[in-house]
Amino acid sequence: MASASPNQNNSLNHLLPPNWKTKITEWLQEDIPSFDYGGYVVGEKETTAILYGKSEGIVAGVPFFTEIFEQLGCRVEWHVKEGEVLKPIQTCAHVYGPVRQILIGERTALNMMARCSGIASQAHRLRILKEKNGFKGVIAGTRKTTPGFRLVEKYGMLVGGADTHRMDLSSMIMLKDNHVWSTGSITAAVQKAKAVGGFSLKIEVECRSEEEADEAIAAGADIVMLDNYEGDALKIAAGNIKQRWAAKGRQVLVECSGGVTEQNIESYFCDAIDIISLGSMTQGVSFVDFSLKVQKNA
């Protein structure tokens, strides 16, 4: 089966932080805070369940799915790889263990796989558009993620071949309109950020005009985000900024964001844009359909 992404590799497991398994414990606790009434009905007899992929997409979320069932005393045997292109209806995995434990993990595991795979599928489609058009820049997600579920959603971006953008508020300093308005000016905001961020954190400033971008760069910003620009206006502004500051010996990254979707992203591709970020990679994304079926007794 075809691989979706150059990032399709089990080594992605090694990116996960030390506390990732506690997240899964919390998911299970949320879904069964007291008595397991349905589990009482089925009991603890050993059984097998099959994970079916029922719609096209990219398989993503394998370590999370496996950990859900391992915490419940079950074993998972995979028949697809992370990042593989799913062709429905396809047998993706077998889960072995006590039927009650399988059913405890069922909905949590399916919800996670559906969303993680949906994000990976969106990222994969965007990567295909990038390659088709010869765009040399980066296509990235945003911080518009589900509270408590960011790790899975950012993981899905990587599996699909997109950039995660900053992981959190501590990963990069991004100064948006509210920061600037609260501080008084772009220059003041950048100077205060540099005073605490040090040399290791990049500073990005959201800009609504070339003049704001010039102020941000002059103050020491590493990246300027042209927000809610469209079409030729974006390309002209990005080209002017790059050319103007290159003449002064200064290299700066230009990002565009706001209103970008899978349907219109091709209109944003140009040599002067280094990063295109999309909140739609996580917001409103279509899920990939999976089901988990316990095998009937003979």
Flag whether 111 is in a domain.
Answer: yes
Model pLDDT for residues 58-115, shown as the tens digit of each residue = 999 999 999 999 999 999 999 999 999 999 999 999 999 999 999 999 999 999 999 9
Alpha-carbon distance of 240 to 210, in angstroms, equals: 8
Q: Give the pLDDT confidence score for residue 42 in this predicted structure.
A: 94
Domain count, the chain: 2
pTM here is 0.92
Q: Are 243 and 289 in a shared domain?
A: no
Percentage of the chain exceeding pLDDT 90 = 91
Whether the Cβ atoms of residue 137 and residue 276 lie closer than 8 Å to each other: yes
Structure-token pair, residue 50: 């099959």
Model pLDDT for residues 101-151, shown as the tens digit of each residue = 999 999 999 999 999 999 999 999 999 999 999 999 999 999 999 999 999
Range of the domain at 266: 172-281
Active site positions, annotated: 144
Which residues make beta-bridge pairs with 51?
93, 292
Whether the Cβ atoms of residue 7 and residue 159 lie closer than 8 Å to each other: yes
Cβ neighbour number for residue 98 with a 10 Å cutoff: 18
Q: Transcribe 252-278 into DSSP letters.
A: -EEEEESS--TTTGGGG--TT--EEE-
Of 15, 279, 1, the C-alpha closest to 158 is: 15
Q: Give the pLDDT confidence score for residue 10 in this predicted structure.
A: 52
- Give the H/E segment covering residue 104: helix 99-133
In this structure, what CATH number is given to the domain that contains residue 220?
A: 3.20.20.70
Alpha-carbon distance of 67 to 90, in angstroms, equals: 22
Model pLDDT for residues 225-255, shown as the tens digit of each residue = 998 787 899 999 999 999 999 999 999 999 9
Strands of 55-172, DSSP E = 57-58, 75-78, 85-86, 90-98, 138-140
Q: Give the pLDDT confidence score for residue 14 in this predicted structure.
A: 86
Flag whether 204 is in a domain.
Answer: yes
Q: Give the pLDDT confidence score for residue 11 in this predicted structure.
A: 58
Is the pLDDT confidence value at 224 over 90?
A: yes
Residue 33 to residues 36, 37, 45, 195: CA-CA distances in angstroms? 9, 12, 23, 46
